[in-house]
Amino acid sequence: MNKIKNSNYILLFALLAFTACQNSSNMNNTSDSTATDSSANTSLIPSAKNFQTTINGKQTNLYVLKNGNMQVAVTNYGARVVSIVVPDKNGNPTDVAVGYDGVQPYTQGGDTYFGAVVGRYGNRIAKGRFKLDGIEYMLATNNGPNSLHGGNIGFSRVVWDAQQPNDSTVVLTYLSKNMEEGYPGNLTAKVTYTVLSNDKLKIDYEATTDKPTVLNLTNHTYFNLNGQGSGTILNHSVMINADKFTPVDSTLIPTGKLESVKGSPFDFTTPQTIGSRANDSANQQIKFGHGYDHNFVLNTNGDINSKAAEVTGDQSGIVMDVYTTQPGLQFYIGNFMDGSHTLKGGKKDDYRTAFCMETQHYPDSPNQPNFPSTVLKPGQQYQSATIYQFSVK
Ligand code: GLA
């Protein structure tokens, strides 16, 4: 009798355990962001075959980098970061980078620069002109009267050569020919993406030239730390380690001054939500930028061990720390996003649903003698590095 009772209990227990497992696996199936098994994790990364095509005679592909809990997908079309998958505060894999499911949409329409390496000169050059060694160079004016992000094609719409030496690294190279987009010198650019332990994405930039030129390489990933396509970033909290920024004119060209952030909406020296001052219409700089679209003068002195910025996703608890050797950081909050693009998983690029932290030299440096120089000469080796490190709070 007792024996029968015991085996009934065992059966009941087994049934309860089985039902609990079923419920949790159903939950995992209802939404990407609650998935916990490793196959679901992989499914947040688009299929490589959607990136395999030939553009201008060159093969494009998707490279998936892994280290521990972190996965990053990169395509060699524009050296773009397509996905960054990290755990949120509950351990659920979350894709914090804006991107498309395949290579084709990256090639269509105006460039939004999603995830791209921008160059030869990231950010703006006034009136698309600069002088170097007494010679005036003319660039495409693709942003009002100015040149933006390397011109009509730039580095974001070319196919880079790619090599993946191991699971966590991809090395991309591109030869930008003399006078391509109006820039002098054959420039060889090399960008290495590495996923390091502790959920760090490191980007190393190198370049050499055979004639004096100017360059400013950066990465234009749009982040939403609550997950791509999950809604507004206005409640993210941001710290930027900068006492000054470079105020701009109405076309977003720096005036040349370095202005204190004190008492202004640009003071992020202590954490502030993005939205608390992003619509401060009494501030002319906010008006010119349609919100934040400004270069901050970092206090970090090019020290990659000193924190440049820290952002926290209000819902996910995901924290992103930024470290860089660069002197500036362009903070852009998706003021030109308009919901007209369909992102990974059918999400839309709605207004201010992502932000960029483009580590770089200051905009228009070739025309601003008081800004740190962006000139590269033959025999010199251009080198810079940026780390985006993820954790949870
Ligand atoms: C940069 C610019 C912005 C905008 C975006 C792309 O961040 O500073 O003004 O052009 O690129 O839309």
pLDDT tens for 138-163 read 999 999 999 999 999 999 999 999 99
Between residues 12 and 266, which one has the greater pLDDT? 266
pLDDT at 231: 97
pLDDT of residue 42: 53
Options 2.60.40.420, 3.40.50.150, 2.70.98.10, 3.40.50.1000; which CATH number does 48-392 get? 2.70.98.10
Q: Please check the confidence at residue 13 and state whether its pLDDT lies above 60.
A: no
Kindly state the average pLDDT of the residues 368-378. Answer: 98
CA distance 42 to 65: 11
Please compute the mean of the pLDDT values over residues 99-126 and round it to a whole number.
Answer: 97
Q: Whose CA is nearest to atom 6 of ligand 1?
A: 112
Is the confidence at residue 316, as pLDDT, over 80?
yes
> Rounded mean pLDDT of 35-60?
79
What is the model's pLDDT at position 43? 81
> Which residue has its alpha carbon closest to ligand 1 atom 12?
112
What would the pLDDT profile of 83-95 be if each residue is shown by its tens digit?
999 999 999 999 9
Q: 297 pLDDT exceeds 80?
A: yes
- Evaluate whether 309 touches 240 at the Cβ level (below 8 Å): yes
Percent of all residues in the chain with a pLDDT value above 90, rounded to a whole number: 88
Q: What is the mean pLDDT of residues 281-293?
A: 97
* Per annotation, catalytic residue among 180, 181, 310, 358: 358
Residue pointed to by tokens 């084709």: 104
Q: Where are the domains of the chain?
A: 2-43, 48-392
Q: What is the pLDDT of residue 9?
A: 46
pLDDT tens by residue, 193-214: 999 999 999 999 999 999 999 9
Over 80: is that where the pLDDT of 27 sits?
Answer: no
Torsion of CA 155, 159, 160, 165, to 10 degrees: 140
**Which amino acid residue places its CA nearest to atom 7 of ligand 1?**
332
Residues in the chain: 393
The C-alpha atoms of residue 220 and residue 237 are separated, in whole angstroms, by 20
> Ligand 1 center to residue 353 CA distance, Å?
14
Cα distance between residue 175 and residue 164, in whole Å: 18
Q: What is the pTM of this model?
A: 0.89
- pLDDT (tens digit per residue) in 228-254: 999 999 999 999 999 999 999 999 999
Q: Which two tokens stand for residue 162?
A: 């790619």
pLDDT at 15: 40
Q: Is the pLDDT of residue 18 over 50?
A: no
Residue ranges around ligand 1 (CB below 6 Å): 112-113, 148, 252, 293, 330, 332, 336, 356
Is 358 assigned a catalytic role?
A: yes
